[in-house]
Amino acid sequence: AAVSAAVQKGLLGFEAISTNRFDTVTVPAGYSAKPFLPWGTPLLPNAAAYKGDGSNTAAEQAMQIGSHHDGMHFFPIDLKQGGQNSEEGLLVMNHEYCDPKILHGAVEEILPRPASQVHKELAAHGVSVAHIKKQPDGQWQLVQESQYNRRITGMTPMELTGPVRGNAKVQTQYSPEGIATRGTLNNCAHGVTPWGTYLTCEENWALLFVNRDTRMPREHRRYSVSEEHSIMYWETAAREDAVLQRFDASSIADSATADFRNEPNTFGWIVEIDPFNPQSMPVKHTAMGRFAHEGIIFAKAEVGKPLVAYSGDDSRFEYIYKFVSAELYDPATAGPHLLDSGTLYAARFNDDGSGEWLPLDINSADFKAKAAAAKVEFTDQADVLLNTRLAADIAGATKMDRPEWGAVHPETGEVYFTLTNNSQRHNSQLNPANPRSNNTQGHIIRWREASITRFDWDIFLLSGEAYTYTPHHQFMLTEENHHASPDGLWFDPNGLLWIQTDMSGGQLREGTFGNNQMLVADVGSHQIKRFLVGPIGCEVTGVVMTPDCRTMFVNIQHPGEGSGPYSFSSTWPDRGTRRPRSATVVITKDDGGLIGS
Ligand code: FEO
Ligand code: CA
Ligand code: CA
Ligand code: CA
């Protein structure tokens, strides 16, 4: 295989590390990894100190770093002036969910849930904006008292924009006009707009709502809103605090005045946050579709062309989507409006290696004919968007093995996407894009756009144990790079592809993979090396570098998951007998060199 420019620069020169099950972050010789901004770190001015016994209150949590760190981006502090500062910036990260056994001092598994705990859980979700700065000694620190430090939680007011704004299906007690909602929940991966804002993506929000109606509406049922109780039982705390009734979307809930049928319809969107404007209200952009958005990744923005972004729906047999803006990109005028009108497409991966983007557009004759043939009615484009999954079914998109993160190669523009696993795919459901039954190990697909509606694809990598073979590239995994359940994916500015894993259950406990890990690939030469192994029970998710590629930030989510409440299988990063905390790690090379060299 060709030696790429990245390898010529001395990248991928480090010695790959082995798998392990240590309760620490392991990186190659010559590198250091230091925990940073763990859950509970005081973030806002006058925030309370982290108490190690889970006794911080909901109000205190709302001023501290949230839990379950996930997607993340570093915005250089001088970005708006065109700068590339690598020593000071805004680190913005998602807090996907929380583990009550770790979050609270003690959890008694009785119902109804105490409202105080539910409010703390809502405050542990969302997004943190942290102003950080490298100190003269080389250590990164939070800039205390910075005006930029901000928490966004499951209760923060947000605006709805795009075709669904004002629609009857998003009118709620909170916003009778259907133009606003409260909070963002289960934010997994993220995106970054060409105008320097952060996008956070709502993934498993449906599990947080219940609807006990015998005829649940399609915009709830297709997304697996629960029929019995929400996964966190938040709605049970409504007896103590009426605001929590919003998690019960049944048409006849406990209270005579309750009507929260449309609350779930205000979730499942892409949410924009301007980290440089702490007073700005986050915006949910409905034109980009409603599903279990894992993340959102933009193709390189080109002047005079539409803006293009990709998003995966992380659920078994769901789809990969593309949004193409109606307006053309111009850096002088680019802004949130570009995300409010455009065409949403779903991907069909044909057996011959070609692919098609199928419009989910009520004005498309092709889509209208397919809907009529399927006897499905949509009243308008808002109805299509509220039911994006159904629209993609009708269009004939390809059901994938749980699409997670995407990444766009900075030079070639090729798009890579992780398909993390799908243990429920049977032999009768195989296709060349999802070629393995009982796919417990996952794969990475990639494509190159041929036009707005056409592409060509292949499988970049089949994940698995050593000797797993990817035929198209005549590539075989070895002890240096075997792994399963690829999830996080990111191209650094040098064109190296970073791959993070989210194995769970038996894959973590036994076998050859060890703890979750991060690998790095040179896609030109198909060299792949293991760079990091996380602590016990964690997922490794979220990665970004400073523009100079000399500091890397990686998120370690839920170390010790599955243990507790009184003994934890992980005590990372605090050690001793302390409870585990999700945290960022700051990775540097001891000689100050490029990360990955
Ligand atoms: Fe939150 Fe699909 O990972
Ligand atoms: Ca993920
Ligand atoms: Ca995952
Ligand atoms: Ca996780």
Ligand 1 nearest atom to the CA of residue 402, by list position:
2
Is 597 a domain residue?
no
Beta pairing class for 342-349 and 320-328: antiparallel
ipTM above 0.95, yes or no: yes
Bridge partners, residue 415, by sequence? 408, 447
Is 596 a domain residue?
no
CA distance 269 to 154: 14
Task: Provide mean pLDDT across the span 497-515.
Answer: 95
Beta pairing class for 283-285 and 157-161: parallel
How would DSSP label each residue in 551-584?
A: -EEEEEE-TTTT--SSS-S--TTT-TTPPP--EE
Which of 213-217, 522-526, 567-571 has the least mean pLDDT?
567-571
Is 59 a domain residue?
yes
**Residue 470 carries which side chain, given as an amino acid letter?**
T
Is 447 a domain residue?
yes
Whole-number Å distance, alpha carbon 188 to ligand 2 midpoint, is: 6
Whole-number Å distance, alpha carbon 512 to ligand 2 midpoint, is: 22
Confidence of residue 436 (pLDDT cuts 50, 70, 90): very high
Write b or e for each residue in 500-518: b if 16 or more Cβ atoms lie within 10 A of its Cβ, otherwise e.
Answer: bbbbbeebbeeeebbbbbb
Closest-CA residue to 198 (of 263, 143, 133, 280): 280
- Nearest-CA residue for atom 1 of ligand 1: 188
Whole-number Å distance, alpha carbon 502 to ligand 2 midpoint, is: 7
Q: What tens digit of pLDDT does each residue of 6-45 get?
A: 777 889 999 999 999 999 999 999 999 999 999 999 999 9
Q: Given this model, what pLDDT does residue 106 score?
A: 76
Q: Which ligand is nearest to the CA of 203?
A: 1
- Nearest-CA residue for atom 3 of ligand 1: 188
Q: Given this model, what pLDDT does residue 7 score?
A: 77
Number of domains, the chain? 1
Exposed/middle/buried for 593, CB within 10 Å: 0-12, 13-18, 19+?
Answer: middle
Is 558 a domain residue?
yes
How would DSSP label each residue in 321-381?
A: EEEEEEEEP-TTT-SGGGGTSEEEEEEEE-TTSEEEEEE--TT-HHHHHHHHHTT---SSH
Q: Which ligand is nearest to the CA of 204?
A: 1
SS3 160: strand
Ligand 1 nearest atom to the CA of residue 188, by list position:
1
Q: Given this model, what pLDDT does residue 2 score?
A: 54
Q: What tens digit of pLDDT does each residue of 242-263 get?
A: 999 999 999 865 554 567 999 9
- The DSSP output letter for 543 is E
Ligand 1 nearest atom to the CA of residue 203, by list position:
1
SS3 524: coil
Q: What tens digit of pLDDT does each residue of 269-307 get?
A: 999 999 999 999 999 999 999 999 999 999 999 999 999
CA distance 35 to 33: 7
Is 594 a domain residue?
no
Q: Given this model, what pLDDT does residue 594 score?
A: 97
Closest-CA residue to 72 (of 152, 150, 188, 151): 188
Q: Given this model, what pLDDT does residue 1 score?
A: 46
**Residue 575 carries which side chain, given as an amino acid letter?**
R
**Residue 160 carries which side chain, given as an amino acid letter?**
L
Whole-number Å distance, alpha carbon 203 to ligand 1 midpoint, is: 7
Is 182 a domain residue?
yes
Whole-number Å distance, alpha carbon 395 to ligand 4 midpoint, is: 31
Who surrounds ion ligand 2 at CB < 5 A? 188, 404, 487
Residues with CB under 6 A from ligand 1: 96, 188, 203, 294, 314, 404
- Cα 421 off chain centre by: 16
Would you state the structure tokens that stand for residue 270, as one six-digit string? 């892409």
Helix then strand count (H, E) for the chain reads: 9, 32
* Residue-level length of the chain: 597
- The domain containing residue 397 runs over which residues? 5-589
Q: What tens digit of pLDDT does each residue of 171-230 get?
A: 999 999 999 999 999 999 999 999 999 999 999 999 999 999 989 999 999 999 999 999
Ligand 1 nearest atom to the CA of residue 314, by list position:
2
Q: What is the mean pLDDT of the chain?
A: 96
| CB 25 within 8 Å of CB 86 | no
CA distance 423 to 297: 26
| CB 147 within 8 Å of CB 167 | no
CATH of the domain at 484: 2.120.10.30
